[in-house]
Amino acid sequence: MKDFQQEIRDISGWLSKIGADPSGGMTRLLYTPEWIEAQHALKNAFEAAGLNTHFDAVGNLFGRLEGSKYPDQVILSGSHIDTVVNGGNLDGQFGIEAAFMAIKHLKDTYGPPLRSLEVIALAEEEGSRFPYVFWGSKNIVGLARREDVQHITDAKGVGFVNAMRDAGFDFPPPHQPLRSDIAAFVEIHIEQGKVLETEGKTIGVVTSIVGQRRYDVRLQGEANHAGTTPMSYRRDTVHAFSRICCESIAKARAEGDPLVLTFGKVEPKPNTVNVVPGFTHFTLDCRHTDQAALLRFTQEIEQDIQRICAEMGIEAEIDLWMDEAPIPMNEQLVACVSRLCETQRLNYRMMHSGAGHDSQIFAPRVPTVMMFVPSIAGISHNPAEKTAVADLNEGVKILAQTLYQLAYTEQGAEA
């Protein structure tokens, strides 16, 4: 198998300049000039490699290598082109680069596949500009709704619809049929954690993506003078939050892996030194690979919040705004990738993904599999995001072998 290390450096070199911050990091938000430039630069690169390209209505970019025998069976591979604010240059981007390099190599080495191969640069996954996630993949599978984005704006007050149309895209035509030709979706991604690095593994074969439940919790007590209000008279929402946080984290630690619990945002009001905080808003994020365990644990946390607040004379408003079930990958595709890893004697492990990915949108509807390469120190969504080029190279190799198996052999995943 070809060594891709120099090609990885070359492609990442020019693509990473688009949206690069002079002080370090990458910002390429949906429908911004940087996003537009990146998508069109990729389109040019795909065409130069002999792929047929097109954008769909919302801006997902496709580069296609037509199948010779089963052209209507498409093996789709890629990831998202958008980034978080001041993120790294691997999250999403590497999945596109890897799929492009793999398909180009297969084309140059073996010619046309039996089944069509497509590399995709998905329009959006992160939700970094607008309060909406997976816009790209949700449009492909029919989950995106016009009403969900019709009236949302970014931090500068720019409307989603206006930004989309200014970038040259629009909503899909009414009653446009969904794609029914995707036979498999294959995504490779950096791990964004340090399991692979810690265990000295080269490849992670993802078996499932965790379920997530996210909450906004608002505690209403009473703001009062910090000097004249005795401790026993206080309805202090920060005190209530601290009890909730400590008890919940202790319970999560006792539960053990793979459950994780995070209190990521805390906003007390009036947030000043000499006033008892009468209001506190906080967020809660809980994830698990097992749906029943996730529901049981979070329901216990909800009950604990209500109990603690009742003891302290505080009202609690609990808003569950994200409730995503765990998503298993396709067992046949997982077995296929595992066999290839064994054949190539790769140092791999089976694992779940603790982060959300476009694969979780495709998987309930299309046979889907994910692969990870290690992240140095587990750092992601950060300018310091990095993976050794040698590990990226092994990722492109196993992706190319997987795409060969799926697109160039009669048996596909069954071989």
Domains and CATH numbers, the chain: 4-210+326-408 (3.40.630.10), 211-324 (3.30.70.360)
Q: How many CB atoms lie within 10 A of CB 367?
A: 21
Q: Which helix (H) or strand (E) holds 312?
A: helix 291-312
SS3 content of the chain, % helix, strand, coil (to 5): 35, 25, 40
CA geometry: angle 104, 106, 112, nearest 5 deg: 100
Question: Phi and psi (nearest 5°) for 80?
Answer: -100, 145
| pLDDT tens, per residue, the chain with 415 residues | 799 999 999 999 999 999 998 878 999 999 999 999 999 999 999 999 999 999 999 999 999 999 999 999 999 999 999 999 999 999 999 999 999 999 999 999 999 999 999 999 999 999 999 989 999 999 999 999 999 999 999 999 999 999 999 999 999 998 889 999 999 999 999 999 999 999 999 999 999 999 999 999 999 999 999 999 999 999 999 999 999 999 999 999 999 999 999 999 999 999 999 999 999 999 999 999 999 999 999 999 999 999 999 999 999 999 998 898 999 999 999 999 999 999 999 999 999 999 889 999 999 999 999 999 999 999 999 999 999 999 999 999 999 999 999 999 998 867 6
Annotated binding site for allantoate: 214, 274, 287
C-alpha closest to that of 371 among 79, 29, 32, 31: 79
Cα gap 122→119, rounded to integer Å? 10
Calculate the CA 206 to chain-centre distance: 13
* Terminal-to-terminal C-alpha distance of the chain: 19
Structural contact between residues 185 and 76, judged by C-beta atoms closer than 8 angstroms: yes
Burial of 146 (0-12, 13-18, 19+ CB in 10 A): exposed
pTM exceeding the 0.85 threshold for the entire prediction: yes
Calculate the CA 410 to chain-centre distance: 32
DSSP secondary structure code for residue 384 in this structure? T
Please report, for residues 61, 144, 177, the alpha-carbon distance to residue 174 in angstroms, rounded to integers and kept in the order given: 20, 12, 9
The residues, any chain, with a CB within 8 Å of residue 266's CB and separated by 6 or more, are 241, 280, 281, 282
Question: Phi and psi (nearest 5°) for 285?
Answer: -125, 120
The residues, any chain, with a CB within 8 Å of residue 22's CB and separated by 6 or more, are none
What pLDDT is stored for residue 415 in this prediction?
A: 63
**Sign of torsion over alpha carbons 207, 405, 81, 145:** negative
**Got the DSSP string for 98-164?**
HHHHHHHHHHHHH-S-SEEEEEEEES--S-SSSS---HHHHHHHT---HHHHTT-B-TT--BHHHHH
The residues, any chain, with a CB within 8 Å of residue 285's CB and separated by 6 or more, are 212, 213, 214, 215, 261, 262, 264
Annotated binding site: 80, 91, 126, 189, 214, 274, 287, 381
**Sign of torsion over alpha carbons 17, 22, 24, 29:** negative
Annotated binding site for Zn(2+): 80, 91, 126, 189, 381
**Sign of torsion over alpha carbons 145, 181, 400, 198:** positive
Token reading at 364: 């309930």
